[in-house]
Structure 1
């Protein structure tokens, strides 16, 4: 386990991270990768790498704007990719998608007609039944227009996630996210009018100039809409982002501020009828259940379409090239839209037994409910304590494990330090590959 330095080492939303991926030589055929894989509870993710503006904190794979019919050419390429991927999945056994999502970037950057086409790709090319399974879509206030929302509601969207970040105009400007609260409120009203079952609001804490009072203001402004979900994200300032080029806040002082605001936000939501699902996610206790009961992120496969999406089999995670710099991203998108043959994986990382154990433990432990060690033993023939004695002992020593239950799960303080817990479970090989990656 690496030495603990900060509670904000890294946000681990997938393992291994793309910076540990490398070009695959030779490039394996998708039909070979998916042969023999269980395909009856897959996740389908369609990635749209366009935004109307790039926020100062953003290191996602996205570009500003899409001139000269670029979105049409991008959807053309996604259509070709979807056709090739569905053919590679074969028909020897059942192929079923248990959950679907449109992310980015900003999927609602697309026009209403283009969103219809995106749904058609998911349904007609991949065979996903969007009205029968959960469909989550990310949006921004400026692009959450009535015509786009109408398409999404009609095509079966069950969850709409709105990136608000702050209801304080000055804080939004400080995060290089130009928006007015009045426009945010108007977008939220339009979303509620569609009656999409789950509204999620994203908020960020740790913005320059943010105080406990202004953070409370944003929390209460969000709660006024009674969102079924709220995500509270700590601000990260990453290399090659807008804020990354101008940040000068002392690290220790900023860590203390973010922990303080996290605890304030957590306690406020718990006191207002929300349950904590992870460090970031809070769900209203009376929210409708629209999630997939038969999909498990630790074990089931992922099909990603689009040049920023990743796919998972049991032995290989793969995607296209990765970048943060805008010029590099434009080059990758340009390459994607001219690609004709999508039958092979380009960039990825093999997942062996050790990495599979790490991924399973990491993705389970970062959820508030934790994991049943018996389920782990049934799958791997060993226990987490046998496989990761040093890491778990270190977590326990710091008070990050809940010792009063048969489940292996983080304590309240452990959840607060999720962004240190996750990286502590990275393998030495993955850590070395990430360190050797040349940012671009």
Structure 2
């Protein structure tokens, strides 16, 4: 699990009311509409037509690498274990073909500029140094992204954060390295089916700091079997010892078809209560340590270099996703390749991707009409600690969020999830609202999106 890339669970609940029970961990809403609401697109629209009228002066670029050395027990990302034979080479060949087709589809009528870039997965550093160099070449030479002049975030793991790989990334302009640690306690790492030793994690962190890449992010997970407030404090303090510029605190989710899925499904009030206690402990400890809260999950050290938009960066229009697990966003359509969690299905989709020659069309996706755009804007802003300036919403849509979403916002207010002390013109979650972000987000999903997610067959 790494920042900005953890899929949400399907089947969000209806809008909570004060009388209805609240599950604080409905789903992690990192993107809206969620990929499980995507469907095959009739006629497979041409990318050139989709992007013709879109602004292209501040695009985001995301390259997806679907390989890991091991699949963690909580992981439902689009990834497979290993890349046997020449699979990594075939995948990069396909990625280069796709990049060439997409850059051609963007056209030359208006300037094309990338403002941010990210390599995610999977584990991008599963690739060897030569393959990482080629990945950067695809971003720069095929897409035209100047990696040395924009924010470039790369996800890595303790086992693959080797000195030679990190040297390539630092030399090619990486400004942020995100390490998925999850726990510094060896027994907890094993319980999460994350085989690693603390000594190896610490060594990887030392190598990352040696690169002098300006932003280090560390991911931690709370809610692991056997985790206690004392062991959680151990992981928090171990992470803080490295003075990371960013820290992400993730609640553990157990999802279908993952290694931990044998755990009983359905509501678990005791586990919910445990996760809430650990969240509050972690939040308060980081705040006491001088960190600023950016969202429920994200905390930043004051003075850390800016890396562009925060948690909802992947929500903005103008996202170009390359790779079989990546999504692209225009103002009117979100699209991607097919999605799966089951390892056999993932392998089939990766094989199909590497054999693809025509990357000029969109295959799977979901249209985004005005109502969905309003929901998305409200959701992605409200889940940030800074909140939503109502004037920005009015400027974009010509309406007021209280008029567009009266029931949802009234329900949040009655539960104490909205900050009554926010300055005039600012719609902001209270600390308790931020703690319940994974209930707030799903409550803003539209009925059609809920229905599509509920109808999705996990595979």
**CA deviations over 1:164-184 (Å, ceiling 9, x no partner):** 000000000000000000000
Which secondary structure does the structure 2 equivalent of 1:358 belong to? helix
1:121 is aligned to: 138
State the alpha-carbon separation in 1 of the partners of residues 442 and 83 from structure 2. Answer: 35
- Residue 292 of structure 2 contacts residue 300 of structure 2 at CA under 8 Å; is this kept in 1? yes
Could you tell me how far 1:290 is from its partner in structure 2?
A: 3.6
1:209 is aligned to: 226
Size of the aligned set, in residue pairs, is 439
1:2 is aligned to: 15
2:8 is aligned to: none
2:440 is aligned to: 421
Task: Give unmatched runs, 5+ long, in structure 2.
Answer: 1-13
State the alpha-carbon separation in 1 of the partners of residues 437 and 457 from structure 2. Answer: 26
Which secondary structure does the structure 2 equivalent of 1:59 belong to? coil
- Name the CA shift for 1:331/1:360 in 2 (closer, same or farther; >3 Å): same
Task: Give unmatched runs, 5+ long, in structure 1.
Answer: none
Could you tell me how far 1:286 is from its partner in structure 2?
A: 2.5
Could you tell me how far 1:18 is from its partner in structure 2?
A: 0.6
Residues 1:412 and 2:431 aligned together: yes
Aligned counterparts, 1:282-297, within 5 A: 282-291=299-308
Which secondary structure does the structure 2 equivalent of 1:167 belong to? coil
- Name the CA shift for 1:163/1:234 in 2 (closer, same or farther; >3 Å): same
- Name the CA shift for 1:22/1:74 in 2 (closer, same or farther; >3 Å): same
Which secondary structure does the structure 2 equivalent of 1:348 belong to? strand
Could you tell me how far 1:289 is from its partner in structure 2?
A: 2.6
Scaled by the length of structure 2, the TM-score of the pair is: 0.94
Could you tell me how far 1:371 is from its partner in structure 2?
A: 1.1
Give the counterpart of 1:101 among 105, 110, 118.
Answer: 118
**CA deviations over 1:131-185 (Å, ceiling 9, x no partner):** 1000000000000000000000000000000000000000000000000000000
State the alpha-carbon separation in 2 of the partners of residues 281 and 182 from structure 1. Answer: 25
1:354 is aligned to: 371
2:456 is aligned to: 437
State the alpha-carbon separation in 2 of the partners of residues 335 and 86 from structure 1. Answer: 21
Residues 1:224 and 2:224 aligned together: no
- Residue 50 of structure 1 contacts residue 106 of structure 1 at CA under 8 Å; is this kept in 2? yes
Scaled by the length of structure 1, the TM-score of the pair is: 0.98
Residues 1:42 and 2:59 aligned together: yes
Could you tell me how far 1:245 is from its partner in structure 2?
A: 2.2
Give the counterpart of 1:162 among 174, 179, 184.
Answer: 179
Aligned counterparts, 1:167-316, within 5 A: 167-247=184-264, 251-291=268-308, 299-316=316-333
- Name the CA shift for 1:299/1:238 in 2 (closer, same or farther; >3 Å): closer
State the alpha-carbon separation in 1 of the partners of residues 268 and 389 from structure 2. Answer: 36
Could you tell me how far 1:271 is from its partner in structure 2?
A: 0.5
State the alpha-carbon separation in 1 of the partners of residues 456 and 317 from structure 2. Answer: 28
State the alpha-carbon separation in 1 of the partners of residues 342 and 309 from structure 2. Answer: 35
- Residue 59 of structure 1 contacts residue 241 of structure 1 at CA under 8 Å; is this kept in 2? yes
- Residue 134 of structure 1 contacts residue 292 of structure 1 at CA under 8 Å; is this kept in 2? no
State the alpha-carbon separation in 2 of the partners of residues 42 and 28 from structure 1. Answer: 20
Q: CA RMSD in A?
A: 1.3
- Residue 310 of structure 1 contacts residue 318 of structure 1 at CA under 8 Å; is this kept in 2? yes
2:7 is aligned to: none
Give the counterpart of 1:320 among 318, 328, 337.
Answer: 337
Could you tell me how far 1:247 is from its partner in structure 2?
A: 4.5
State the alpha-carbon separation in 2 of the partners of residues 349 and 220 from structure 1. Answer: 42
Give the counterpart of 2:149 among 132, 138, 150.
Answer: 132
Residues 1:141 and 2:154 aligned together: no
State the alpha-carbon separation in 1 of the partners of residues 264 and 179 from structure 2. Answer: 26
State the alpha-carbon separation in 1 of the partners of residues 278 and 33 from structure 2. Answer: 29
- Residue 324 of structure 2 contacts residue 353 of structure 2 at CA under 8 Å; is this kept in 1? yes
- Residue 98 of structure 1 contacts residue 292 of structure 1 at CA under 8 Å; is this kept in 2? no
Which secondary structure does the structure 1 equivalent of 2:159 belong to? helix
- Residue 30 of structure 1 contacts residue 345 of structure 1 at CA under 8 Å; is this kept in 2? yes
**CA deviations over 1:224-249 (Å, ceiling 9, x no partner):** 00000000000000011000124479
- Residue 41 of structure 1 contacts residue 300 of structure 1 at CA under 8 Å; is this kept in 2? no
Which secondary structure does the structure 2 equivalent of 1:374 belong to? helix
- Residue 31 of structure 2 contacts residue 314 of structure 2 at CA under 8 Å; is this kept in 1? no
State the alpha-carbon separation in 2 of the partners of residues 212 and 281 from structure 1. Answer: 20
- Residue 206 of structure 1 contacts residue 235 of structure 1 at CA under 8 Å; is this kept in 2? yes
2:6 is aligned to: none
**CA deviations over 1:37-70 (Å, ceiling 9, x no partner):** 0010110000000000000000000000100010
State the alpha-carbon separation in 1 of the partners of residues 79 and 266 from structure 2. Answer: 26
- Residue 298 of structure 1 contacts residue 364 of structure 1 at CA under 8 Å; is this kept in 2? no
2:389 is aligned to: 372
- Name the CA shift for 1:248/1:103 in 2 (closer, same or farther; >3 Å): same
